[in-house]
Amino acid sequence: MRHPLRFTALLAVSSAAFLAAPAAQAALIKIKVENLAPTAGTLFTPVWIGVHDGSFDLFDAGAPASAQLERLAEDGNPGPLSTLFSSGMQGVVFGPGIGPGSPPIFGPGGSGEIVLDLGTGATDLYLSFASMILPSNDAFFGNGNPTAYKVRDGSTVTGQSIVILGSQIWDAGTEVNTEAAADTPVLGQMVADTGTPQGGVVALHSGFNAGGPILTAFPNADFTADGYQVARITISEVPEPGTLALLAGGLGMAGWMRRKRKVMTAM
């Protein structure tokens, strides 16, 4: 004898449980970073990521950079910025390096990713990010508008892809642009804060100085070229393990009921 009502009810219960479960679970997001520059193009350092309520202002164009941003823009060091940021979720996305013994930077084609837990609730959340451009004295990419990139709208994760163009590269204004190896991390600088202080303000970068001694190794690093792409940051939601297990359990129950139904029909 068949029991279609019982079968339907069990499916309804398992489906309802699956649909209701995410409301009580934290939201996980994956942040993937890719270097889009051409071969022999720009590199960049590990990327600092911060998720906040929209109140964290990384920098303002036309104003001096903070001491913490200066360390990232000149030395590629995200540590001081991580210390400054204390009111949200944060992390650092490391690159694969560019060869044996290389620090975890991003060469052309390189990528890395992290997963952040946004917690529960229905608070709007926003993304800030920053990374030093190599080869440079104090060039970086980052967002000065703290509410430019919303990663959670209420309780919904906002997936998106952010492409950073060469026209969006900033000059921190903290170090004179010499394009010399001795002043450039990874390429010859041995001690942090080595270059000549500039005392300027954050502004869009005008490009490398022609004939800079370190540029011969980077013939495709002119990020001022039309359409030059530096990086891509992709944000996507990661299903909770519990959600996946619940879905699998619901589907498994449905399959078990179908098999049982076939056996009962054959009797």
| Banded model confidence at residue 175, pLDDT cuts 50, 70, 90 | very high
Following DSSP, what letter does each residue of 202-256 receive, concatenated?
-EE---PPTT-TTGGG-TT--TTSTT-EEEEEEEEEE--HHHHHHHHHHHHHHHH
Q: Domain ranges for the chain, please list them.
A: 1-25+240-267, 26-238
Query: Which residues, 6+ apart, have CB-to-CB distance to 254 below 8 Å?
Result: 10, 11, 14
pLDDT surpassing 50 at residue 82 = yes
Assign domain 26-238 to a CATH class.
mainly beta
Torsion of CA 165, 171, 177, 181, to 10 degrees: -60
DSSP β-ladder status, 160-165 and 43-44: unpaired
- Mean pLDDT taken over the chain: 84
Of residues 255 and 63, more confidently modeled: 63
Residue 137 contacts residue 179 (beta carbons within 8 Å): yes
State yes or no: pLDDT of 248 exceeds 70. no
